[in-house]
Structure 1
Amino acid sequence: MAAALIELRLEATRSDDVRAVLEPVLHQGFATDVAFHRARGLPGGREQVLWLHHLVNGAVLDAITIPVHPGSKVGEVVARAASKLTA
């Protein structure tokens, strides 16, 4: 599913029709994640959730394509970074 979402996001840069459908879904998903973060009393706020999104999206891309550092364990790197971002 992650690969399909990446493909859709790439296609949305080329097609206004795809963008019109996908953009509200992505925006609502982000808003839902921010609300969840706040409701659980997790440290940080909207900006930290945005950082986490970028972190995870990069990790997913690395996991399903050619990794930038083949020896690293993406899950462990994400966990360490997320812990530091929300400390």
Structure 2
Amino acid sequence: MRQNPARRTALLDGAIEVLAREGSRGLTLRAVDKEAGVPIGTASNYFAHRADMLAQVMQRILERLTPEEAELADTMAAKPSAELVRTLLQQLLERTRQERSSHLALLELRLEATRRPELNAELTRFFSAQLEANIDFHLGAGLPGDRTGVVLIYLAMLGLIVDDLTVPELLTPHRTDVLIDAMVTRLLRA
């Protein structure tokens, strides 16, 4: 396997764009090569097989969606409170909008996982680890709420994000900041 990190990143970013635009059926090594602007056949030098590429795509999406350390540190300088949770959730929604392709690619992977047990297992491990990390972060930061409240926030935000990305007109009559405020107040009892 090739070891050029910049080219691997370009290929993974290309795979994310293909997944977001064309779905999992459009995700071929040739399509990834074309999207990444590399010679045809390059992706096959970087990924042993499709499952290997999808696992690496999930990790690349995580990198793209993780907030900048300095930005997160600035946000977390505030006193732990319901208002801080609201700010974090609003920032999450903004990152989602900026990284639209990453979230759409994850949605495509979720759908593909319903048909492929091996991908389902990998995706379950991936999302379980992310959910546990989010719960640990929330509770470790002394933010209001308990484990169940954090899981409920996760589920509510996932629904909001899916609608915001796929049918944003549905949310037009509702302000997302008001919805996020209600989530925090009701689900975290804050």
Q: TM-score, normalised by structure 1?
A: 0.85
**How far apart, CA to CA, are the structure 1 residues paired with 2:171 and 2:138?**
30
Q: What amino acid does structure 1 have at the position aligned with 2:186? A: K
**Structure 1 position 37 matched with structure 2 position 142:** no
**1:74 Cα deviation from its structure 2 partner:** 2.6
| Other-structure match for 1:24 | 125
1:1-12 matches, within 5 Å, as 1-12=102-113
**1:26 Cα deviation from its structure 2 partner:** 0.4
Give 3-state SS (helix, strand or coil) of 1:14's partner: coil
**How far apart, CA to CA, are the structure 2 residues paired with 1:84 and 1:20?**
33
**How far apart, CA to CA, are the structure 2 residues paired with 1:71 and 1:46?**
31
**How far apart, CA to CA, are the structure 2 residues paired with 1:56 and 1:76?**
13
**Structure 1 position 78 matched with structure 2 position 180:** yes
**How far apart, CA to CA, are the structure 2 residues paired with 1:83 and 1:5?**
28
| Bigger Cα displacement from structure 2, 74-83 vs 54-63 | 74-83
Structure 1 vs Structure 2: percent identity of aligned residues?
30
- Contact 2:164 2:171 (C-alpha < 8 Å) held by counterparts: no
Unaligned runs of 5+ in 1: none
Unaligned runs of 5+ in 2: 1-101
Q: What amino acid does structure 2 have at the position aligned with 1:27? A: S
**1:69 Cα deviation from its structure 2 partner:** 4.2
Q: TM-score, normalised by structure 2?
A: 0.42
**How far apart, CA to CA, are the structure 1 residues paired with 2:138 and 2:108?**
27
Bigger RCO of structures 1 and 2 (CA < 8 A, at least 6 apart): 1
**1:65 Cα deviation from its structure 2 partner:** 1.3
**How far apart, CA to CA, are the structure 1 residues paired with 2:149 and 2:122?**
26
**1:33 Cα deviation from its structure 2 partner:** 0.7
Q: What amino acid does structure 1 have at the position aligned with 2:107? A: I
Count of matched residue positions in the alignment of Structure 1 and Structure 2: 87
How well do the aligned residues superpose, as a CA RMSD in angstroms? 1.6
**How far apart, CA to CA, are the structure 2 residues paired with 1:81 and 1:38?**
17
